Amino acid sequence: MRELICINCPRGCRLKVDDDLNVTGNFCPRGVIYAKNELTHPVRTLTSTVKVQSTLERRLPVKSSQPLPKEKVFDAVKELDQVSVETPVHIGDVIIENVAQTGVNIVATKNIEK
């Protein structure tokens, strides 16, 4: 039996998972997915910023479009340092494809027009 705190939302459910990966203590179905992932291949959404060539802003906030394998997060951050984005850039624009060979894209989370 393992005890986990679900990180999907601010509610922070206290989950219990038995050896056969049966989950209890979850308020919503996302808790089950979280607990199974956490005990087999933990994933995290990455948020950070990259350089932007803009007259308005110095940094463009970005996120991973999907959660990344937890052990790949630092590799992904390193790739972000290599990027300098041109404007205009809009929410959802792909900044890095297949970051750290994870199959996940890094996308912009802010509109910067110039």
Partner 1 sequence: MIHHRLVIIGGGSAGMAAAIKAYELGEKDILILEKNNYLGGILNQCIHNGFGLHEFKEELTGPEFMSRFSKQVNELGIKYRLNANVLSMTKDKVITYSSEEDGLVEVKADAIILTTGCYERNAGAIQIAGDRPVGVYTAGQAQLYLNCYGYLVGKKVFILGSGDIGLIMARRMTLEGAKVLGVAELMPYSAGLNRNIVQCLQDFNIPLYLSHTVKEVRGKNRVEKVIIAKVDEKMQFIPGTEMEFDCDTLLLSVGLIPNNDLFNNLGIKFSKTRGAVVNQDMETEIPGIFSAGNVLHVHDLVDYVVSEAREAAVGAVKYLSKTTKHAGFAYEIKQGFGIGYVVPQVLNIDDASDKVSFKFRVAKPFKDIVINIKEGERVLKKIIKPAIVPSEMEIVYLPKEIFQKEDHTITVSVEEKK
Within residues 23-62, the interface with partner 1 by CB under 8 A covers 44-49, 51, 57-59, 61
Closer Cβ to partner 1, 20 or 108, answer by number: 108
**Is residue 94 within the footprint of partner 1 (CB under 8 A)?**
no
**Is residue 16 within the footprint of partner 1 (CB under 8 A)?**
no
Reduce the secondary structure of the chain to three states and give it as a string.
CEEEECCCCCCCCEEEECCCCCEECCCCCHHHHHHHHHHHCCEECCEEEEEEECCCCCEEEEEECCCEEHHHHHHHHHHHCCCEEECCECCCCEEECCHHHCCCCEEECCCECC
Segment contacting partner 1 by CB under 8 A, of 16-24, 71-79, 93-101: 71-79
**Is residue 87 within the footprint of partner 1 (CB under 8 A)?**
no
